[in-house]
Amino acid sequence: MLSQVTESTRGKYAAALGDFAQWSRLLQVVWSSLPEEPLDFLLADYILDGRDAGASLQAYANAVAAVHKHFGHRRRFTAAHKTLEAWRRELPVNQAPPMPADVAFASVSILQLCGHLHAAMVVLLCFCGLLRISEALQLCREDVILTRLPDGSQACILLLRKSKRGVADSEKVVLADRRVIRYIEVYLRATPGQPHAKLCAISYMAIQKHLLRLSKFFGFERTTFRSHSLRRGGATALSMQGLSLHEIMAIGRWAAEKSARLYIAKAEVLILRFRDSRLPEHARRIQLLAPLGERLFELKYI
């Protein structure tokens, strides 16, 4: 279908499609074989990653147009188009609802109880480290460095193989919460492997399926959490704890202040609405599971 556009447009579409294909491969996804809805969500997540990294909107619009062309315009990609439109208007993107902190930690617990250890670790890293899903799934075991900071406190450093800005080995994430570090230590012992092996042996589509099930399990019938909900929820949790915008931008590696400010402000309102709308039985379920993750891991594997 790309042959039906002008040569210059065809070149732009091919370049944008190549970037999207490369990003999809990092997630172990063959985009061209996906049904319409999963591909729509994949495109929306791709756009979200580009937006908060300060990338060019046009390149992402070209990618969506190129995918449309690939399928002969037989697919709609509603979520992807809404995400692009929100970016154009510089509004907070609302296609990835923020996951509240207690729901994130309850999700870690239930995934662990069900034996989905890799999925539990992805949720923890994306929420606590503000990792993009592509960054979390690229991590190898040798990219996780347990060390001590100059002040003597323990830390876990995650060396990102390739950031959204495309520069290899240029960014790192430092985790300092002792509970998260302890969880990672036990996880590494519970899931042994070679240094070059993936830290979390799970695919993007598997994570999406787990998040869909968790949304229903915790009573969010009208809200489907997606992979970007973890990063957005983690950033919002830090804001609600009193961290400044610039501190959050440094942790999450945001490029544009305006984008980050809008991204977080609306998320705080949504999280408050989530809390207010919970049925009592769902609230009790979350309150029971949220603090269990660390203890469950230690009881089962030590």
In a 3-state reduction of DSSP, which class is residue 221? Answer: coil
Whether 31 and 108 share a structural domain: no
Q: Are residues 137 and 271 in the same domain?
A: yes
Give domain status of residue 93, yes or no.
no
Looking at per-residue confidence, does 111 or 167 come out higher? 111
Q: CB under 8 Å to 29, separation ≥6 — which residues? A: 42, 203, 204, 205
Tell which of 44, 63, 88 closes a domain.
Answer: 88
Q: Tokens 């501190």 identify what position? A: 247
Burial of residue 261, with CB atoms counted within 10 A of its CB: 0-12 exposed, 13-18 middle, 19 or more buried: middle
DSSP code, position 73: T
Q: Report whether 187 contacts 165 (CB < 8 A).
A: no
Contact 218, 285 (CB under 8 A): yes
Instruction: Tell me the pLDDT band of 156, cut-offs 50, 70 and 90.
Output: very high
For 97, half-sphere exposure in the C-beta direction (CA atoms, 13 angstrom radius) is 19
**107-128: b or e for each residue (b if 16 or more CB lie within 10 Å)?**
bbbbbbeeebbbbbbbbbbbbb
Together in a domain, 263 and 296: yes
Instruction: Enter the tokens of residue 35.
Output: 């049904």
DSSP H stretches of helix in the chain: 7-26, 36-52, 57-70, 78-88, 101-113, 117-128, 133-138, 178-190, 204-217, 227-240, 245-252, 257-277, 280-289, 293-301
In a 3-state reduction of DSSP, which class is residue 91?
A: coil
The reply to whether 80 and 110 lie within a common domain is no
Residue 250 in any domain: the answer is yes
| 96 lies in some domain | no
At which of 39, 55, 88 does a domain end? 88
β-partners of residue 145 are 157
Mean pLDDT across 222-238? 88
Q: pLDDT tens digits for 79-88?
A: 999 989 888 8
Residue 165: per-residue pLDDT: 53
Average pLDDT (121-149) is: 93
Residues 140 and 248 in one domain: yes
Query: How many angstroms from the chain centroid is the CA of residue 187?
Result: 20
pLDDT at 300 over 60: no
Domain assignment present for 154: yes
Residue 3 has pLDDT above 70, yes or no: no
Question: What residues contact residue 265 under an 8 Å CB cut-off, 6+ apart?
Answer: 92
Tell me, yes or no, whether 175 and 125 share the same domain. yes
pTM score above 0.95: no
CATH assignment of the domain containing 236: 1.10.443.10
Q: Which of 9-23, 60-74, 102-116, 286-300 has the lowest mean pLDDT?
A: 286-300
Residue 6: the pLDDT is 63
Show the domain range for 70.
Answer: 2-88
Residue 47 lies in a domain: yes
Q: Which of 48, 66, 88 is the last residue of a domain?
A: 88
